Amino acid sequence: MKFSETIANMKGRQNLVLCHDQADSDAVGAAYALSRFIGAEIGVPQAVATHTHKLLEELQINILIGPDPGTYENVVVVDAAAPVQLGKSLPERYWFIDHHPINTLQDNAQGGLYDPVSSTCQLVFRLLKELNAPFDRAIGMALAAGIMTDTINFHKGDPEAFRAFGEILELCGLTYEDVQRLYIVDERKDRGAICQAALDAEKYTFGGYHVLVTEIDSNIPTFAARALFDLGADVSVVGFAKGEEVEIRMYIRQELAEKHHLDAAELFRTMPGMGQGTAWGYALFGGYRAKGELGVLLTNIVKRFEDLLG
């Protein structure tokens, strides 16, 4: 049976769409759009990523924390690449939809849709179109938000991601600005934190390249790293620490990455003292999460760029 037919057969049953932990807009957007079609509850093992809270608010999405997958007839796992991302909520039986370059969840799945494209949301859009599913503004907003997130605001993306985004806007009566508004930091407190982080930043110049490094006291390091990047940094590194939990984000300018064969995500993976955490991203943007000492980690990062560029 085609997976789209499997999805269609779930309609009206007891369904759960399960996102990876720290669910981002791609996971939540895909889950929401799918849940509207089949009728499903949406769950996450522990928490939703901060940047996605506005999407939840806007679409009034109700998310179950740590649901028991055993109590549902069907579980569809979306946007997760590995069992570890589901923690204690890992179901015994599940379907899956995912786009990550490496996916180890598919081995034990009942079936699903796997295609290493730019986002899970474009895969869900593909399925829903195949099924002639009805679309509305909320579904469009969810899917478009996911595509926007996983293309890092269109800094990268395959042709289908761009095409799907345009089609979704048109089909659902949305504008680019409607979707972008979900990610503009409009909380005065957050803007203040970003300004302060920029003022507190240390600027290093190695081999002519500007490396800006700072800490922020609000859990929006990605926004701050982007702001420093837009200020003119060739490399922007922003850390946030809460207790011993550390979050670091980094942007690298394309010209520098190409010239010195740098990959932001890879740099985090191979940085001295950073082997204990999780790194993700791609060449021009990297994220890192771990337990550790933020000051020490940032010092190591600066040292690494000095070695690479100095």
Stretch that binds Mn ion, among 24-32, 231-239, 259-267, 272-280 (CB under 5 A): 24-32
Task: Kindly state the smallest distance separating residue 267's Cβ from Mn ion, in Å.
Answer: 21
- By beta-carbon proximity to Mn ion, the closer residue of 146 and 277 is 146
Stretch that binds Mn ion, among 22-30, 104-112, 198-206, 266-274 (CB under 5 A): 22-30
Judge whether 30 and 123 are in contact, CB under 8 Å: yes
Task: Kindly state the smallest distance separating residue 63's Cβ from Mn ion, in Å.
Answer: 17
Token look-up 């409607």 returns 178
- By beta-carbon proximity to Mn ion, the closer residue of 159 and 208 is 159
Judge whether 176 and 167 are in contact, CB under 8 Å: no
Based on the shown chain and the rule CB under 5 A, indicate whether residue 160 belongs to the binding site for Mn ion.
no
Task: Kindly state the smallest distance separating residue 100's Cβ from Mn ion, in Å.
Answer: 7
Judge whether 300 and 276 are in contact, CB under 8 Å: no
Task: Kindly state the smallest distance separating residue 150's Cβ from Mn ion, in Å.
Answer: 4
Task: Kindly state the smallest distance separating residue 26's Cβ from Mn ion, in Å.
Answer: 3
Distances (CA, A) of 5 to 73, 127, 161, 179, 260: 16, 9, 23, 30, 48
Structure tokens at 147: 């595509």
Q: Which of 21, 26, 234, 247 binds Mn ion (CB under 5 A)?
A: 26
Stretch that binds Mn ion, among 19-27, 43-51, 57-65, 152-160 (CB under 5 A): 19-27
- By beta-carbon proximity to Mn ion, the closer residue of 26 and 215 is 26
Based on the shown chain and the rule CB under 5 A, indicate whether residue 150 belongs to the binding site for Mn ion.
yes
Q: For the sheet containing 202-206, what is the strand order?
A: 202-206, 209-215, 235-242, 245-252, 285-291, 278-282
How many angstroms from the chain centroid is the CA of residue 206?
Answer: 30
Describe the crossing of helices 120-130 and 159-172 by its angle, rounded to 10 degrees.
60
Based on the shown chain and the rule CB under 5 A, indicate whether residue 79 belongs to the binding site for Mn ion.
yes
DSSP 205-245: EETTEEEEEEE-SSS-HHHHHHHHHHHT-SEEEEEEEETTE
Residues 120-139 that bind Mn ion (CB under 5 A): 120
- By beta-carbon proximity to Mn ion, the closer residue of 21 and 26 is 26
Alpha-carbon gap, residue 213 to 296, rounded angstroms: 13
Total of residues contacting Mn ion (CB under 5 A): 4
Based on the shown chain and the rule CB under 5 A, indicate whether residue 234 belongs to the binding site for Mn ion.
no
- By beta-carbon proximity to Mn ion, the closer residue of 26 and 167 is 26
Task: Kindly state the smallest distance separating residue 119's Cβ from Mn ion, in Å.
Answer: 5
Q: Tell me which residue has its CB nearest to Mn ion.
A: 26
Task: Kindly state the smallest distance separating residue 28's Cβ from Mn ion, in Å.
Answer: 10
- By beta-carbon proximity to Mn ion, the closer residue of 131 and 152 is 152
DSSP 133-148: ----HHHHHHHHHHHH
Token look-up 């599940």 returns 94
**Which residue ranges make up the site for Mn ion (CB under 5 A)?**
26, 79, 120, 150
